[in-house]
Structure 1
Amino acid sequence: MVTEPTSHRLALPILLATLLAACAGTSDGGSSTGDAPADPPGPAPHEGVPSDQQAAPAVPSAPDLAYPGKGFIVHEWGTDTVVVGSDGSLQPGLHHEEEDLPSFVYDRLEAGSLDGSISTNVNVKMETPVTYFYAEEPLTAHVQIAFRKGIFTQWYPAVRDFYPPIIAPNTVAGVTTYADPAFDPEFPFGSPMCSEMYGPSVNGLLQWSTFEILGRDSDVPLPEAPLDRFTWAHARQVGANPLRVAGVPGATEAPQHERFLFYRGLGNFDLPVRVTAGTGGAISAENTLDEAIGAVFVLNVGASAGAFVAHPQGITTGGTLVERAPSLDGAPPLDEFVASLGASMIDALDATGLYHDEAVAMVNTWKRQWFRTPGVRVLYLAPQAWTDASIPITIDPAPADVVRVMMLRVEVLSPEIEAADVGAARRLADPSLAAGAARHFDDLGRFAEPRLRRALALLGEPAYGEPLLARIAAGATASAARE
């Protein structure tokens, strides 16, 4: 699927970077490409890997659930994560990591600081889209992905160009280190117009301008990503062709190999389904699109048990799904729940047009976060037209078929959860209770910031909550920078 000539695609980031440099008062806008040494190649060890991280055994696929061995085909899966208040409002502060990525994965600041080449207001975290390529014979391809309402924050293999660019030290007055104007509210833009134009986290762009889709039987070294540390290797357990990306001049000349293209981002935009919550586990999911939503899953996960309700038929155009989070009273043990939900979700993913091994890889990658993290959540499949509009992809040569599947994860703050968070936030005002109140939020991991922000908003933004909020946000500075 080609939307514009390759020459125009390659010129776009150069033009945009020049404009940004002019706004910053310099003709040298900084770097926008890069590379980094990979971990030593080798197979990912499985010995000692927790059972939840073990790759599932290969499952024979029906002919229509596996690559037919003919034609150029592209498949992709990924997920967006949001936290919503009981009134359906999207909560900011979602830049925190839940899973470490291998060290060979690029981030904006790292890539921008190589030769040749933190925001807390984001409400959507786009996680692990991986793009697979299938071809009967080797070929060379060009891929560009845009993110109109967000910015790409991590990727692998190396891209030839990304936008917005990173500003190099001493190219802008007062900037002595590598700076990311998109995520730095203190960046010294030369004018209010430039700040308004380039300050928001929008108009992200990645270009893998040329890479090789290798033969299907090619045996290539992949950078090490052991399953006892990373879920990355699950996405490799598919029958896609391996890829080779040439080294980036000025960084490394060594080619990079992987089974897929990976990218991740942060943004601010509304999702297709508006989820609200009432007391007693009441859930309402309103389809705001003019087309149907795919399969929907409503989960209630506890420390040792879990329950779910599946709606394989999804939500009709303009319809609203009214459901209740299933009770944990008498719910199956967590392992049994995970196995049952995983099988149900794989069936739903098979129905989207993904190959069966891709569906298994997606569930294996995310089952710990989706199925074992305590809380009430809604998972649903967005229509491909929404994905294509949100993160349009340009592929040259044009594939015979493109399947893109996004599973959206909605962490639901019920009135009961909000009341507990508000109670803890109130205790921050009492020095004798503040330490215990802080632990309440610290124990929430990556969701501590959005839940604390929601509680403080419900309380009218009291000043006594600011120190804890600042600490929680600052505690994620490293991961935020790597995003």
Structure 2
Amino acid sequence: MIPTDTSGIHYFAARETDAAFVRVKAPDKAAPATEHEKFLFYRGVANFKTPLQITFNSGNEANLFLRNTGTDELKHLFVLAIRQGQGKFIYEDHVPSGQHVYAGLKSGEDLLPLGELAARISGRMSAALQQEGLYRREADAMVKTWRKSWFEEDGLRVLYVLPRKWTDEALPLTLQPRPREVVRVMVGRAEIIAPTTEWQLLKQIVRYSDGDADERHQAVNQVRRMNLGRFFQPAVQLVLGSHPNREFSQAAWELLQAATKNDGDGRTLAAK
């Protein structure tokens, strides 16, 4: 009755709930006259500041300070580091308004294989979402939808639950007819570009700018091995903010373009 997929597209996991069906008359004459669905999906572009502020402790990338700049507590914070098929995470129950907590990720210690790591943190995240009001199948479906980008992509990130008040103010919601109860749970995601990542990228931009054809080729390969994915462009912008030079900027964007070309598997680096 509802759309299905066997290619692994992650959005289909959102239908794995006990939600009631919604019947919609399709406006497109080429589509079936009536469609059935179990969730509503929307995507938009926004620009607002979240209440989580993250800083490094004395430049040590294994030590983070998580500060809550908002008026309500932040809950269920997961600090996660993944690199080359393994990683680790730590959990902080909450950060009160105006306070901060120290999150220490000891580098190289207690690393888990990616599959085991993703399984462990998926269970913890689902439990956290249920504590905030989602039904079990809703929480599991949400985690399954975002598992790859949350728990399997290389990087350093913090996932956390935003206050309901903040969610209602940032994304107002009106439903007619008015339901008896509305439960909204928004997960915040902060991607962190560490100082060593900036430094490594800076070295490769300089190498690409000053080197011959072979050096440029090596720079492209090194950048690809950094596995920045969709965060390659923001990382370049971060480096350029500290080095405002026209020739350097041109070399950086040329390196970005070269490194994000289709690499033979049908996808660009930035799409992974």
| Same fold per superposition (TM over 0.5) | yes
Pair 1:367 & 2:151 matched: no
Deviation at 1:253, TM superposition (A): 6.9
Task: Tell me which residue corresponds to 1:3.
Answer: none
Choose which of 13, 38, 56 in structure 2 pairs with 1:259: 38
The structure that is helix-richer by fraction is: 2
Choose which of 229, 238, 255 in structure 2 pairs with 1:468: 255
Normalised TM-score (structure 1):
0.49
Return the alpha-carbon distance in structure 2 between the equivalents of residues 238 and 349 of structure 1: 14
Return the alpha-carbon distance in structure 2 between the equivalents of residues 275 and 464 of structure 1: 30
Pair 1:455 & 2:239 matched: yes
Alpha carbons of structure 1 residues 249 and 301: separation in structure 2 relative to 1, 3 Å: closer
Return the alpha-carbon distance in structure 2 between the equivalents of residues 250 and 347 of structure 1: 43
Normalised TM-score (structure 2):
0.84
Runs of 4+ in 1 over 3 A off after TM superposition: 249-253, 439-443, 468-475
Residue 457 of structure 1 aligns to which amino acid in structure 2? G
Return the alpha-carbon distance in structure 1 between the equivalents of residues 115 and 228 of structure 2: 22
* Residue-by-residue CA offset, 1:398-439 (whole Å, 9 max, x unaligned): 111111111111111122122112112222212432223233
Return the alpha-carbon distance in structure 1 between the equivalents of residues 110 and 234 of structure 2: 31
**Larger RCO (CA within 8 A; separation ≥ 6):** 1
Return the alpha-carbon distance in structure 1 between the equivalents of residues 22 and 100 of structure 2: 42
Check conservation: 2:221, 2:259, Cα contact below 8 A.
Answer: no
Check conservation: 1:380, 1:409, Cα contact below 8 A.
Answer: yes
Choose which of 61, 66, 69 in structure 2 pairs with 1:285: 66
Return the alpha-carbon distance in structure 2 between the equivalents of residues 303 and 470 of structure 1: 23
Return the alpha-carbon distance in structure 2 between the equivalents of residues 309 and 464 of structure 1: 38
Pair 1:270 & 2:49 matched: yes
Residue 296 of structure 1 aligns to which amino acid in structure 2? L
Say which SS state the counterpart of residue 429 (structure 1) adopts.
helix
Task: Tell me which residue corresponds to 1:124.
Answer: none
Check conservation: 1:305, 1:328, Cα contact below 8 A.
Answer: no
Say which SS state the counterpart of residue 436 (structure 1) adopts.
helix
Identity of aligned residues (%): 32
Choose which of 80, 83, 86 in structure 2 pairs with 1:299: 80
Alpha carbons of structure 1 residues 373 and 354: separation in structure 2 relative to 1, 3 Å: same
**Aligned-pair RMSD on alpha carbons?**
2.4
Task: Tell me which residue corresponds to 1:387.
Answer: 167
Return the alpha-carbon distance in structure 1 between the equivalents of residues 62 and 107 of structure 2: 8
Deviation at 1:349, TM superposition (A): 0.9
Residue 244 of structure 2 aligns to which amino acid in structure 1? G
Choose which of 202, 205, 216 in structure 2 pairs with 1:422: 202
Instruction: Say which one has the larger Rg.
Output: 1
Alpha carbons of structure 1 residues 466 and 300: separation in structure 2 relative to 1, 3 Å: closer
Alpha carbons of structure 1 residues 434 and 465: separation in structure 2 relative to 1, 3 Å: same
Check conservation: 1:299, 1:309, Cα contact below 8 A.
Answer: yes
Deviation at 1:237, TM superposition (A): 0.9
Alpha carbons of structure 1 residues 267 and 469: separation in structure 2 relative to 1, 3 Å: farther
Check conservation: 1:306, 1:331, Cα contact below 8 A.
Answer: yes
Task: Tell me which residue corresponds to 1:439.
Answer: 221
Task: Tell me which residue corresponds to 2:92.
Answer: 311
Deviation at 1:294, TM superposition (A): 1.3
Query: What stretches of structure 2 of length at least 5 have no aligned partner?
Result: none
Residue 230 of structure 1 aligns to which amino acid in structure 2? I
Task: Tell me which residue corresponds to 1:412.
Answer: 192
Query: What stretches of structure 1 of length at least 5 have no aligned partner?
Result: 1-220
Check conservation: 1:225, 1:232, Cα contact below 8 A.
Answer: no
